[in-house]
């Protein structure tokens, strides 16, 4: 069963950008695509555990600020070395101008 957590207002994220969201000891990255869709992944790069919130968002990719590894934030797939392992993704919904993520442990 989904556990929806309010993360931010939809307008808090610019198009083709992301914000960091921390919940307890976990960190997430929430993205707004050029198509005005919202996505969520783990907030740390799988290569060196660097915060992705400082990275560059282009189209549907997030580039890690440390070693330039890339991920498709829609699927979590690693698309450029040195990142090899995928990011975990989370369900997102937008209701009443608010962004909610399902951070249920799987």
Angle at 103 between CA 16 and CA 3, to 5 degrees: 120
Q: Where are the domains positioned within the chain?
A: 4-102
| CATH number 3.90.180.10 is the correct assignment for the domain at 4-102 | no
Give tens-digit pLDDT for 47-104: 989 999 999 999 899 999 988 899 999 999 999 998 889 999 999 999 999 999 998 8
| E-strand stretches of 12-91 | 17-23, 26-32, 38-42, 56-58, 61-63, 70-72, 78-80, 89-90
For the entire predicted model, the pTM comes to 0.93
């Amino acid at each position: 069963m989904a556990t929806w957590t309010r993360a931010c207002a939809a307008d808090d994220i610019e198009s083709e950008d992301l914000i960091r969201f921390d919940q307890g000891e976990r960190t997430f990255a929430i993205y707004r695509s050029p198509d005005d869709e919202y996505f969520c992944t783990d907030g740390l790069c799988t290569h060196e555990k660097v915060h992705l919130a400082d990275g560059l968002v282009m189209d549907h990719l997030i580039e890690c600020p440390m070693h330039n590894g890339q991920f498709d934030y829609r699927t979590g797939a690693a698309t450029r070395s040195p990142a090899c392992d995928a990011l975990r993704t989370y369900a997102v919904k937008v209701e009443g101008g608010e962004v909610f993520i399902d951070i249920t442990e799987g």
